[in-house]
Amino acid sequence: MFWYKRRGDFSLNTIIGPNTSVYGDIETGGFTRIDGNLRGNLRAGGGVVLGETARIRGWIRGSAVTIGGVVYGNVLASERVVVLATGLVLGDIVTRRIQAGEGCLIHGRIMVCSDEEVWRQRAGQYRDAAIPQSPLSGFPARQGVSPNAHG
């Protein structure tokens, strides 16, 4: 059992291991760790940790998101985003705080909203936006990016 001092009881709700692939959206009520592959969107009620071997093609929503692997999609985090030196994000990041390790790669817009009103507006735009679907792969596609690019 893990303990998280700021929020009290902190438990691991979901783990996707390094040799596991999931196709479809995932919604969890708490902390989520992914070390495998996800082709779909992830909505976590708590924090999200993506290990170095994680590969995600879809949007991520969580309170605090740590990225050590590859994300091909947008990231929305109500507290913070940490992109480790091994992290690669091909999409937009909307958060209140961000930390990027030396050597990481982020290809997209980064919107850091420390003001509460600006955060609500930006987060609302991303939360309410319909995720565009690629007719070829069935997964989110970015404008101007081939749906088959980057895995």
Which residues span the domain enclosing 73?
A: 2-128
Low-confidence ranges of the chain (pLDDT < 50): 1-9, 132-151
What's this model's pTM, rounded to 2 decimal places?
A: 0.76
Q: What is the pLDDT, as a whole number, of residue 129?
A: 63
Q: What is the pLDDT, as a whole number, of residue 149?
A: 41
pLDDT digits (tens, 9 = 90+) for 21-33: 999 999 988 899 9
Instruction: Pull the structure tokens for residue 110.
Output: 């980064």
**Count of domains forming the chain:** 1
DSSP 91-138: S-EEES-EEE-TT-EEES-EEE--SHHHHHHHHHHHHHSPPPB-TTTS
The answer as to whether 145 is a domain residue is: no
The answer as to whether 90 is a domain residue is: yes
The answer as to whether 149 is a domain residue is: no
C-alpha dist (Å) from residue 17 to 38, 98, 113, 118, 151? 11, 26, 33, 36, 18
Q: What is the pLDDT, as a whole number, of residue 128?
A: 64
The answer as to whether 136 is a domain residue is: no
Give CA–CA dist 71/74, Å, rounded. Answer: 8
Cβ 95 vs Cβ 112: under 8 Å: yes
The answer as to whether 76 is a domain residue is: yes
